[in-house]
Chains A and B, each alone.
Chain A
Amino acid sequence: MKKMQLNSKYVPLIITILLFILMFAIGAVRYPTFLSLQVFLNLFIDNAYLIILSIGMTFVLLIGGIDISVGSVVCLVCMASAHLVENVGMNPYLTMVLMILLGAVYGLVQGCLIQYFKMQPFIVTLAGLFFGRGAAAWISIETINITNKTYNDIAHYRVKIIGNNFISIGSVIALVTLVIAIYLAHYTKFGRAVYAIGGSEQSALLMGLPVARTKVLVYTLSGTCSALAGIVFSFYMLSGYSLHGMGMELDAIASTVIGGTLLTGGVGYVIGSLFGVLTQGVIQNLIMFDGTLNSWWTRIAIAALLCIFMIIQKLLTNRGSVQKKGQVA
């Protein structure tokens, strides 16, 4: 019985990994050029920002919260750094540090509003979503292209892997973030507090865990991740535009949920979110390789996938609670 329950925790993650392999196999069968190391590495290059976003989102979902402001923070960071580097002439590295600070403060404010004033996460972060977009448009309505040499050098630098295959600096940042996040989630007091709060906030409080501090920190972490993702995204796009990253919040939530994190909190793995992102990336690639489909199909496919995984989650958690009840009886 116990083994069975342990398994059900891993089921979404296993399904996701299998789905990823299946999708990749479909691509490999249909398109001969699909099966190459570079196509696989491109998944990391094209989705580096999304990996970072999903990592932040995983922590937020783990405590049973939600943060839908991430996409617009990415947009705001892109716009602000483009403006600072191009129009103000600020040092690129100083700009990046400033942007990380901006993201941390953005998350901190949202976290404080949610925790200390008992406001609902969706209202606060929805306001955050619109605030970010508005602020980006306030900086400039036109697109600002980044022509700065440092930015371009970083954007075009290739980290060689095997032979001629490469990944970008952005993907290296994403992978480093991933390793740090796994350490944070599974080997620190903070991580244990996060899982405990997600399991039951009441019990976490009774256990004497710093619930308020952890929750505020999680939103701060999500804001910081969004800012980091924004910097990586600005390497990828080399421009700031007030409509960048539209709907990115859904992508981030979808990858996290597809990666096996429960929306109700307490259950999930940071590594799962990586596979969630990769699965989405493969779908995008398949639609791109097909060439005849409208790009809007990507969004619809991801939304559909999110629905399917939410239903799977529901079925699994229902079975879990039925089992528990059975044990009590």
Chain B
Amino acid sequence: MQNRLKKLVRARLFWPLVALALMIIFNIIFVSDFLKIEVKDGYYYGRIIDIINRSAPLMIMAIGMTLVAATGGIDISVGSVAAISGAIVCTLIGGDFQGNPKYPFAVAIAAALLVTALTGLWNGMLVGKLGIQPTVATLILYVAGRGIAQLITEGQIITVYYKPFAYIGGFVPGIPIPFSIIIMAVVLVIVMIILKKTALGLFIESVGVSADASKVTGIDVTKIKIIIYTFCGLCAGIAGLIISSMIRAADANNAGLMYEMDAILAVAVGGTSLNGGRFSIAASIIGALIVQCITTTMYAIGVSSQVLPMIKAIIVIIICLVQSEAFRKAILNVFKIKRGLTHEKNAVKL
């Protein structure tokens, strides 16, 4: 029995799931109507559905970010890339009041995804080929990306009246669950199949543990990094489509703002070490749900959206501290000293 319990506690998904359960219990107690799910016009509505719907873009970003983190890197440009994606799709469809698209819907989506994959490729080239620190390499697009999005929309917020555009982040007629979740599921399944059926997952982990050792064993480290960053850019692009579809507009300044922090937080909460190495996509998905839960709960309590990053920053630091071996040792030492003292006292008494 005790063995089984130990096994359960050691399982990768155990702690993220406990955290999620705690968040949900907290919400059930403090937020009214949390569990209520209504059916309106054949669609499901409710707070839980809302959280899942809103966390879908975050989950997709977290999938990409998990793989990047597993190689020991980081991509802080995801929020800006999401803004670029939204800017492209909205500009190509155009803000026609009658709802007639300028270019076909599929062309607009394809263009947005292509460009975001290219931005990812750019990051990958800088990190993989030139060996530049991932932070600095992706910082370039983190800052310049919003500028590029501004240039695409010519500094305006383009509102799209074309109906099908709203489907991506909302409901497709005839399907009762939000479409964004289906997109997320498709991305997840494709990634899982690739990771399980090929050695890519193993290669990523080995690059994260030691790039030098991987190179010696014959893994093309540069290629792996480029593929992963490109994929991360693509994920950010898909997330950007959902985000801009939710507000039915391209907002270069605010779309996907602070998402990089949420995505990194989701990965960290899920338990994937940001130092690279072992990773779990499922854990990051749960991490994304937890992060979205935190966000909604904070809003419900009355914390403003601009103050939220402060709280999330503290949570990230605490999680990283717990993951840090040096910190755990320091804590253990404190306990040991205390225990040692009580032992001594006991000895004196005896």
On A, residues with C-beta under 8 Å from B are 66, 68, 113, 116-124, 126-131, 133-135, 137-138, 141, 242, 247, 249-250, 253, 257, 263, 294, 296-297, 299-300, 302-304, 306-307, 310-311, 314
Q: Which of B130, B136, B151, B275 meets A296, CB within 8 Å?
A: B151
Residue of A nearest to B327 (CB): A117
Instruction: Tell yes or no: B313 within 8 A of A by CB.
Output: yes
CB distance from B42 to the nearest CB of A (A): 40
Within 8 Å CB of B200, what residues of A? none
Among A66, A117, A300, which residue has the most Cβ atoms of chain B within 10 A? Answer: A117
Within 8 Å CB of B306, what residues of A? 133-134, 137-138, 141, 242
Residue of A nearest to B149 (CB): A296
Contact B144 A122 (CB under 8 A): no
CB distance from A305 to the nearest CB of B (A): 10
Bound-state Cα–Cα, A131 to B142, Å: 17
CB distance from B305 to the nearest CB of A (A): 9
Bound-state Cα–Cα, A141 to B324, Å: 35
CB distance from A207 to the nearest CB of B (A): 23
Q: Which of A123, A129, A131 meets B314, CB within 8 Å?
A: A131
Bound-state Cα–Cα, A129 to B316, Å: 12
Within 8 Å CB of A131, what residues of B? 309-310, 313-314
Among B136, B258, B308, B326, which residue has the most Cβ atoms of chain A within 10 A? Answer: B136
Can you give 9 contacting A-B residue pairs, CB < 8 Å?
A133-B306, A134-B308, A134-B309, A137-B304, A250-B144, A296-B146, A297-B147, A300-B151, A310-B132
Contact B307 A118 (CB under 8 A): no
Instruction: Tell yes or no: B37 within 8 A of A by CB.
Output: no
Q: Which of A117, A118, A121, A130 meets B313, CB within 8 Å?
A: A130
Assuming A118-B324, A123-B274, A303-B140, is B313 touching A128 (CB within 8 A)?
yes
CB distance from B91 to the nearest CB of A (A): 15
Contact B326 A118 (CB under 8 A): yes
Assuming A250-B139, A310-B132, is B316 touching A127 (CB within 8 A)?
yes
Contact B316 A123 (CB under 8 A): yes
Contact B309 A124 (CB under 8 A): no
Instruction: Tell yes or no: B341 within 8 A of A by CB.
Output: no
Contact B304 A314 (CB under 8 A): no
B residues 314-332 touching A (CB-CB < 8 Å): 314, 316-317, 320-321, 324-327, 330
Within 8 Å CB of A296, what residues of B? 146-147, 150-151
Instruction: Tell yes or no: B131 within 8 A of A by CB.
Output: yes
A137-B306, A310-B126 given. 7 additional CB < 8 A pairs?
Answer: A116-B330, A118-B326, A130-B312, A131-B314, A249-B139, A296-B147, A299-B143
Instruction: Tell yes or no: B135 within 8 A of A by CB.
Output: yes
CB distance from A248 to the nearest CB of B (A): 9
Within 8 Å CB of B327, what residues of A? 117
Within 8 Å CB of B321, what residues of A? 113, 117, 119
Instruction: Tell yes or no: B283 within 8 A of A by CB.
Output: no
Bound-state Cα–Cα, A119 to B139, Å: 19
